Amino acid sequence: MVVLVINSGSSSIKFQLIRMEGRARLCAGLLERIGLNGGIFTFEPAGRDPLKRPVSIKDHSQGIALILQVIADPRVGVLGSIGEVDAVGHRVVHGGETIDKAELVTPRIEAIIEACGRLAPLHNPANLMGIRAVTALLPSVPHVAVFDTAFHATMTEEAFLFGLDYECYRRHGIRRFGFHGVSHRYVSLRAAEILGRDRKNFTCVSCHLGSGVSIAAIRNGRSVDTSLGFGTMCGVPMGTRAGDVDPAVILHLIEVLGMSTREVHQLLYFESGLKGISGLSSDMRDVERAAASGNERALLAMKVFAHGCRRHVAGLAASLGGRLDALVFTAGIGEHSQETRRLVCAGLEVLGVQLDETRNRIHGEEAVISDPSSRVSVLVVPTKEELMMAIETEEVVKGGGCRDDPPCPARPSPDP
């Protein structure tokens, strides 16, 4: 089976083409600045030099048409014809409470994606644009929506409810959803494989540390708890996002300092985190370089980041009942920053974590980096979200579903 994976943003489309036999990536690419001046199309066929050229693309439909044309181009493409594509997997950020697994795209699923646009206004509308553009051009193949929130649908009420009036949940659906589910599922499964463990008898805490950060507790292939919540601003301080903030601070900013809600949003989402604390950059690489040259605020930003990670790792280990088999690092910072991994693991000895400093000197490689004496295995697993999406797409198309776990716990549906 050949699966085309699409990640449609508001002005960009990422794609990969994967042959499921052997899990071979045939090509990958990125179309940037859709509807804007200065568009760029990048195409990376496996085993050949990448192609990069300027383009002028007015909308997602035209962008998808270009991608399909190049994939089957006799000179640079990787397929004899676009008819060799057997299925298309589409990334969708938010599925709300209704979605607990990847789903075939139907009018009902499109309506759910559209309705969840109020929960993910920057993402779901763009995801839906991509789905409609591709289905119009490839109407005869199955299309599967793979939801970032679906993996966390196995959380129980005690994990996903906030301490608000219950009516906020029942009437308005305000609860913890969790994100980065595709990444968390992939790295947890891969970690079990690396360690030779049965995933149905395996617990881990997965640390997705990138420009966005989320940490998840996973037991037997199911999400138990996670650091992100209703949206993507809470948890660990991120590149520009504040992470956990006392709600009293928000009220103080508005009621005492006179900031508007728009100004507070700008502060919490774009001016905080590594950027706000260091005063330099949202990029951990820049912050690390500055800290190494003696910049105290850069070092402080790194310490605050690591402290936030440790707090959530320890709390999520408790959500697993105290049994922790593995601690897994992934995404840009998690895969490449040995100093961040060192800082995060320092202080987690109480959980049985012992990092091997020599093994930790890796960048972007799959490896076990814990000391042989460590009770908890520590791993770096580069995330492969597109591959995981392709696997889930194949599972749905072949009728196997996406998880053979027990059904999600029953819960009341929020009022419309």
Residues recognised as catalytic = 148
Residue with tokens 């004496």: 373
Report the distance separating Cα 302 and Cα 295, nearest Å: 11
Beta strands 24-32 and 12-19: pairing type?
Answer: antiparallel
- Are 15 and 23 in contact by the 8 Å Cβ rule? The answer is no
Looking at the DSSP assignment, which residues form a beta bridge with residue 144?
89, 104
Say which DSSP state 376 is in: B
Residue of 284, 294, 295 whose CA lies nearest to 334:
284
- Pick left, alpha or beta for residue 221 (phi over 0 → left; psi -120 to 50 → alpha; otherwise beta): left
Q: How many CA atoms lie within 13 A of 32 on its CB side?
A: 11
**Beta bridge pairs of residue 222:** 219
C-alpha closest to that of 313 among 328, 302, 292, 303: 328
Crossing angle for the helix pair 181-195 and 385-397, to the nearest 10 degrees = 90
- Give CA–CA dist 87/16, Å, rounded: 12
d(CA 271, CA 156): 33
User: In this structure, are residues 102 and 113 in contact, taking their beta carbons and an 8 Å threshold?
Assistant: no
Q: Which residues pair with 43 in a beta bridge?
A: 29, 51
Task: Count CB atoms within 10 A of the CB of residue 145.
Answer: 28
CB 81 within 8 A of CB 56: no
Return the exposure string of 348-367: e unless at least 16 CB atoms fall within 10 Å of the residue's CB, then b. beebbbebbeebbeeeeeeb
Q: Are 248 and 275 in contact (CB under 8 A)?
A: no
With beta carbons less than 8 A apart as the criterion, state whether 86 and 2 touch: yes
